[in-house]
A = this chain, B = another copy of it.
Amino acid sequence: MLDRKAFDSISYSIAIIGSCLDGAFRGCAVNSLQQLTSSMPAKFAVTLNKYNVTEAAVEQTGAFCATVAAADCPEAIIKLFGYKSGRVTDKFAEYDTKTDEAGCPYITEGMAVRMSFRVTQQVDLGSHVMFIAEVTEAEVLLPGAVLTVEMFKNAGKVIPANAPVYRTLDEHYGYRCTICGYVHKSDTLPDDFRCPVCKQPASKFEKL
């Protein structure tokens, strides 16, 4: 038996990963930040979809900043970092942005904690890359509960297509946006179709 509904049960926090690509700030929302070891310097992992510009940024910079969203994080922030592509939007331009000692960007609004990391290992997972990294900085911004995927789903939101936990019934069905990774589940793709995530035209889609 292989019932994918079982996957949905695991609880995840929502974090925003920030790094730099060719001098520009890049970032995205993920559900995949996790502590791996506790001996200092503690190791964490974050898994990023290869379609995300942030993946290329972390690979280039070898460092990233992570903020964990607070339970009352404004929905607009998660939507901006989770659903819009850094190829078409300068996400950090819309909020007051700080940088850590390595120059990686982060916002404080709606965030519970901020941690900075230096990448030590990289694991190719096919569609995603896992970055294993040592913590270099950590601070509590706002004590209290954090936002989980479950809380976000229960508020009627859907999970972005690039998330490790994104669910599709058939991976080889539909059309995928080559810019942001969104999958349109349909037999056909109208010529005037635009990606609901990154607004790119039908010509940027590939058939699965």
Q: Which residues of B contact A136 (CB under 8 A)?
A: 2
With known contacts A1-B139, A121-B123, A164–B7 Cβ distance under 8 A = no
In the complex, the answer to whether B125 meets A43 with C-beta atoms within 8 Å is yes
Identify 14 residue pairs between A and B in the complex whose beta-carbon atoms are under 8 Å apart, listed by A's number: A3-B139, A6-B114, A9-B113, A9-B146, A10-B146, A11-B148, A34-B34, A34-B47, A34-B164, A37-B125, A37-B126, A37-B164, A39-B127, A145-B150
Whole-angstrom distance between the Cβ of A11 and the nearest chain B Cβ: 4
Taking CB atoms and an 8 Å cut-off, the chain A residues in 36-83 that contact chain B are 36-40, 42-43, 45, 47, 68
A contacts with B, residue count (CB < 8 A): 56
- Please judge, given known A-B contacts A10-B146, A113-B9, A140-B9, whether A167 and B4 are in contact too, CB under 8 Å: no
Interface residues of A (CB under 8 A from B): 1-7, 9-13, 15, 32-40, 42-43, 45, 47, 68, 112-115, 121, 123, 125-128, 130, 132, 135-140, 145-146, 148, 150, 163-168, 171
State which of B6, B12, B132 has its C-beta within 8 Å of the C-beta of A140: B6
Q: How many copies does the complex hold?
A: 2
**A171 to B207 CA separation, bound complex (whole angstroms):** 52
B123 touches A39 (CB 8 A): no
